[in-house]
A and B are shown apart, each in its own frame.
Chain A
Amino acid sequence: MKAPPFQYHRPQTCEELGALLANLDNAKILAGGQSLMPMLNLRVLAPDHLIDINRISELSGIRETANGIEIGAMTRQADILASPIICARLPLLACALEHVGHIQTRSRGTIGGSCCHLDPSAEQPAMCAALDAEFVAVGPNGRRVVAAEDWFQGLLQSALDDQEFLEVLRFKPWAKRHGYGFAEYARRHGDFAIAGAAALLEVDSKSAITRAALLVFGVEPAPRRLRGAEAVLIGQTIHDITFAPIVDEARALDPMEDTHVTADYRRHLAGILINRALGDACSTSERSQ
Chain B
Amino acid sequence: MTEQNITFTLNGEQRRASADPRTHLADFLRHGLGLTGTHVGCEHGVCGACTVIVDGVPVRSCLMLAVQVDGCIVETVEGLAKGDELSPLQQAFSTHHGLQCGFCTPGMLMTLEAFLRGSPSPTEQDIRIAISGNICRCTGYQGIVEAALAVVAAKASSS
A105 with B24: in contact, given A5-B1, A34-B45, A52-B68 (CB under 8 Å)? Answer: no
- The listed residue with most A CB atoms (<10 A of its CB), out of B57, B62, B130, is B57
Q: Is A78 an interface residue (CB 8 A)?
A: yes
Chain A residue nearest in CB terms to B45: A38
The residue from A7, A101, A104 contacting B1, defined by CB atoms under 8 A apart: A7
Distance (whole angstroms) from the CB of B125 to the closest CB of chain A? 11
Judge whether A41 and B43 touch: CB under 8 Å. yes
Distance (whole angstroms) from the CB of A207 to the closest CB of chain B? 33
Interface string of B21-45 (1 = CB under 8 A from A): 1111001000000000000000111
Q: Is B133 an interface residue (CB 8 A)?
A: yes
Provide the bound-state CA to CA distance between A8 and B51, in Å.
23
Judge whether A104 and B22 touch: CB under 8 Å. no
Judge whether A102 and B21 touch: CB under 8 Å. no
Neighbouring B residues of A105 by C-beta, 8 Å: 45, 60, 63, 133
Interface string of A17-52 (1 = CB under 8 A from B): 000000000000010011001101110000000101
Provide the bound-state CA to CA distance between A43 and B149, in Å.
40
Neighbouring A residues of B132 by C-beta, 8 Å: 102, 188-190
Q: How many residues of A contact B (CB 8 A)?
A: 31
Judge whether B21 and A7 touch: CB under 8 Å. yes
Judge whether A41 and B1 touch: CB under 8 Å. no
Chain A contact residues: helix, strand, loop or mixed: loop
A104 with B4: in contact, given A33-B63, A37-B63 (CB under 8 Å)? Answer: no
Q: How many residues of B contact A (CB 8 A)?
A: 31
Distance (whole angstroms) from the CB of B10 to the closest CB of chain A? 18
The residue from B57, B65, B133 contacting A8, defined by CB atoms under 8 A apart: B65
16 A-B residue pairs with Cβ-Cβ distance under 8 Å, sorted by A, are: A1-B43, A6-B22, A8-B4, A8-B67, A33-B64, A37-B24, A37-B44, A37-B64, A42-B43, A102-B48, A102-B132, A103-B111, A103-B133, A105-B45, A105-B63, A108-B59
* Sample of 15 more A-B contacts, CB < 8 Å, known A108-B57, A108-B60: A2-B22, A5-B21, A6-B21, A8-B4, A10-B67, A30-B65, A37-B64, A38-B63, A40-B22, A102-B133, A102-B134, A104-B59, A108-B63, A189-B129, A189-B132
Interface residues of A, Cβ cutoff 8 Å to B: 1-8, 10, 30, 33-34, 37-38, 40-42, 50, 52, 54, 78, 101-105, 107-108, 188-190
